[in-house]
Structure 1
Amino acid sequence: MLKLSNETKVGILTVVGITLLVLGFNLLKGKSLFSHNKTIYAVYKNVNGLMPANAVQVNGLVVGSVSNLEVKDKDASQILVTLTITKKIDIPRNSVARISSDLLGTKTVQVDLGNATEYLQSGDTVYAATDGSMTDALKEQLNPLVQKLQGTLSNIDSVLLTVNAILDTTAKGNLQDAIRNLNATMRNFTHTSASLNGMLDPHNGNIQKTFDNLAAVTGNLKDNNQKITGILDNAEKATGALANGNIDKTLQQLQQTANNLNQTIAKLNTTDGTAGLLLNDKKVYNNLQYSLGNLNKLLEDLRINPKRYVHFSLFGKKDKTKPLPSDTAAVQQ
């Protein structure tokens, strides 16, 4: 049996350890030394924190991993990412390798398959695209809210400026006066409500008394219902008698009487008849007045001097004529 020295054993263990270390390191980087892998490249302007060993997925299936990231030609705007595809799949040439992240911030490379008939081979470069990060997504969601908040703050600022402009010294005084007037109005309203409560008092309120009087009136109407019915019956009978009477004939006679009266008045207003002459001719009136005056004098003279008109004298002696009192009064005047 071959005996190995301690130095040989140490050397063998060292080689095995180094081999295992290399294999483990490659495994951690996503490389497999015992399978046929496909390596493709993608160039990004921004990798959003992509790191080696991040998964490469197609339709949610992990088909490989990111093996390396480096700056291309010392240009930091171009980052060359090496993708190792471990699954045996065909990737069309117009496919897009898109960097995305989940809610926890884990980065992955999502390969969106195209529709080309030619497929990528190992060493080819695929189209690259980058999704917005969670921060970008939040910014997109928050930007409208921020704009609305800014508008709201601007409106609040305008309101505050307006309030400050209103609440100057004069405005404060006016506001205090308005508050005092409002207090006075409220006191008046309190007095008014107290008065209303007094009126609405179920025992001594005016409205209750009014309802009581109304109830008394309706009670009287109810008690005198028969009398009221009799009055209405009598009224109905009276109106029926008037309706059944010769009202038309009576009205015609009344109209004829009115016409005759109008004709008589018209004749009195003219000088055709005696009455018209007496009413309208002043000369006739004066003559009549004069005749009446003479008649009165004649009667007065007959009363004073009857012997002037009837003479019974046996001896032929004449009496003296006495003056009329009316003539004496006229002379004295």
Structure 2
Amino acid sequence: MLKVSNETKVGILTVVAITLLVLGFNLLKGKSLFSSDKTIYAVYQQVNGLQPSNFVQVNGLTVGNVSNLDVLDNNAGKILVTLRITKDVEIPRNSVARITGDLLGTKAVQIDFGNANEYLKSGDTIYAAVDGSITDALKEQLSPLVKKLETTLTAVDSVLLTVNSLFDTTTKGNLRSAIAHFNTTMSSFSRTATSLKGMMDPEHGNVQATFDNLAAITDNLKNNNEKIAGILSNAEKTTSALANGKLDSSLLDLQHTVANLNGMMAKLNSTDGSLGLLLNDKKVYNNLQYSLNSLNMLLEDLRVNPKRYVHFSLFGRKDKVRPIPSDTATAQ
């Protein structure tokens, strides 16, 4: 029986371990030693963080991965990216390999198919392009906003400085007073609103009561519609009777009567007639007053001394004449 030395066993185990290590490393990188994959190349000026094992996609379908990235010059101005295509797809020669990224920052190579009739073979180079990152897009969008914001902040700063210079101690006091008056006005407005709310209360509000009274009035008018119609009919009949009657002649007679009355009043105010003299002449009044006094004295003397005017005696005795009260008063 053939004996194997320990050195041989160690050597065999070492070779097997190295082989397994290489296979495992290639598997971790996405390579397969037993497949007929197609390798194509793309040259980029910058790769935006592209790493080996990132996916290569066509229309969202993963068809391979990035196997390696190499620098072609000392300045890293050109980067050679090796793309391994594992799916059996034909890539037109004028296709473009575009580096893209999602919201999480994961990079991938997106192949946009062209319309050429010739297709890339293993070892060919594809056109390369790089999409801008989300950060770049945000920077492009935010840059104008930042400039506008800076301009706005400068304007606001200027306005605040101007306002601060205008608002001296007196102005600030006036502003506080105006705010206090405004608060008072708002309080009054609140009370007014409360009062208005009370007036608009559907159960106990004045407005509701007014509407109820108006409804009652309208109902009353509706219920007495026939009476109102009768009153209007009577008024129409009355006006018709007045219109058909001799109203003009009556007014003319009244006018003549008033004219005569005015003439009589004019005569009374003048001294032409007796009544005019009696009313306007003082002498006539005095004479009339004197005559009335004399008549009163005569009647009084007749009452006191009737025998002076009617003398009758059986024995022929002459009675003594008594003075009348007026004569006595005059004598006194």
* Alpha-carbon displacement from aligned partner over 1:209-259 (angstroms, at most 9, x marks no partner): xx9xx9xxx9xxx9xxxxx999989876654343113467789999xx9xx
Q: Quick one: which amino acid aligns to residue 79 of structure 2?
A: I
SS of the equivalent of 1:33 reads coil
Give TM-score scaled by structure 1 length.
0.55
Query: C-alpha displacement at 1:121, in angstroms?
Result: 1.5
Query: C-alpha displacement at 1:95, in angstroms?
Result: 0.6
RMSD: 4.3
* Alpha-carbon displacement from aligned partner over 1:259-311 (angstroms, at most 9, x marks no partner): xxxxxxxxxxxxxxxxxxxxxxxxxxxxxxxxxxxxxxxxxxxxxxxxxxxxx
Query: C-alpha displacement at 1:45, in angstroms?
Result: 1.6
**Structure 2 unaligned blocks of 5 or more:** 200-205, 222-227, 257-332
- Provide the C-alpha distance between the structure 1 equivalents of 2:172 and 2:229, rounded to a whole number of angstroms: 72
- Provide the C-alpha distance between the structure 2 equivalents of 1:13 and 1:115, rounded to a whole number of angstroms: 53
- 1:166/1:249 Cα in 2 relative to 1: closer, same or farther (>3 Å)? same
- Provide the C-alpha distance between the structure 2 equivalents of 1:233 and 1:56, rounded to a whole number of angstroms: 105
- Provide the C-alpha distance between the structure 1 equivalents of 2:232 and 2:105, rounded to a whole number of angstroms: 102
Q: Tell me, yes or no, if structure 1 residue 90 matches structure 2 residue 84.
A: no
In structure 2, the partner of 1:48 is: 48
- 1:19/1:162 Cα in 2 relative to 1: closer, same or farther (>3 Å)? same
- 1:239/1:85 Cα in 2 relative to 1: closer, same or farther (>3 Å)? closer
SS of the equivalent of 1:76 reads coil
- Provide the C-alpha distance between the structure 1 equivalents of 2:229 and 2:31, rounded to a whole number of angstroms: 121
In structure 2, the partner of 1:57 is: 57
Q: Quick one: which amino acid aligns to residue 112 of structure 1?
A: D
Query: C-alpha displacement at 1:66, in angstroms?
Result: 1.2
1:1-333 correspondence to structure 2 within 5 Å: 1-140=1-140, 142=142, 146=146, 150=150, 153=153, 156-157=156-157, 160-179=160-179, 239-246=239-246
- 1:55/1:252 Cα in 2 relative to 1: closer, same or farther (>3 Å)? same
- Provide the C-alpha distance between the structure 1 equivalents of 2:2 and 2:72, rounded to a whole number of angstroms: 54
Query: C-alpha displacement at 1:128, in angstroms?
Result: 0.8
- 1:252/1:98 Cα in 2 relative to 1: closer, same or farther (>3 Å)? same
Query: C-alpha displacement at 1:127, in angstroms?
Result: 0.8
Q: Quick one: which amino acid aligns to residue 108 of structure 1?
A: A
* Alpha-carbon displacement from aligned partner over 1:176-207 (angstroms, at most 9, x marks no partner): 443565578789x69x97xx99xx9xxxxxx9
Larger mean Cα displacement after TM superposition, 47-56 or 22-31: 22-31
Q: Quick one: which amino acid aligns to residue 133 of structure 1?
A: S
- 1:123/1:233 Cα in 2 relative to 1: closer, same or farther (>3 Å)? closer
- Provide the C-alpha distance between the structure 2 equivalents of 1:109 and 1:185, rounded to a whole number of angstroms: 69
- 1:75/1:231 Cα in 2 relative to 1: closer, same or farther (>3 Å)? closer
- 1:161/1:239 Cα in 2 relative to 1: closer, same or farther (>3 Å)? same
Number of paired residues?
A: 228
- Provide the C-alpha distance between the structure 2 equivalents of 1:124 and 1:110, rounded to a whole number of angstroms: 17
- 1:175/1:231 Cα in 2 relative to 1: closer, same or farther (>3 Å)? same
- Provide the C-alpha distance between the structure 2 equivalents of 1:133 and 1:55, rounded to a whole number of angstroms: 17
- 1:43/1:166 Cα in 2 relative to 1: closer, same or farther (>3 Å)? same
Give TM-score scaled by structure 2 length.
0.55
Structure 1 ranges of 4+ moved more than 4 A? 140-156, 179-187, 228-238, 246-254
SS of the equivalent of 1:103 reads coil
SS of the equivalent of 1:77 reads coil
- 1:85/1:230 Cα in 2 relative to 1: closer, same or farther (>3 Å)? closer
Query: C-alpha displacement at 1:57, in angstroms?
Result: 1.6
In structure 1, the partner of 2:312 is: none
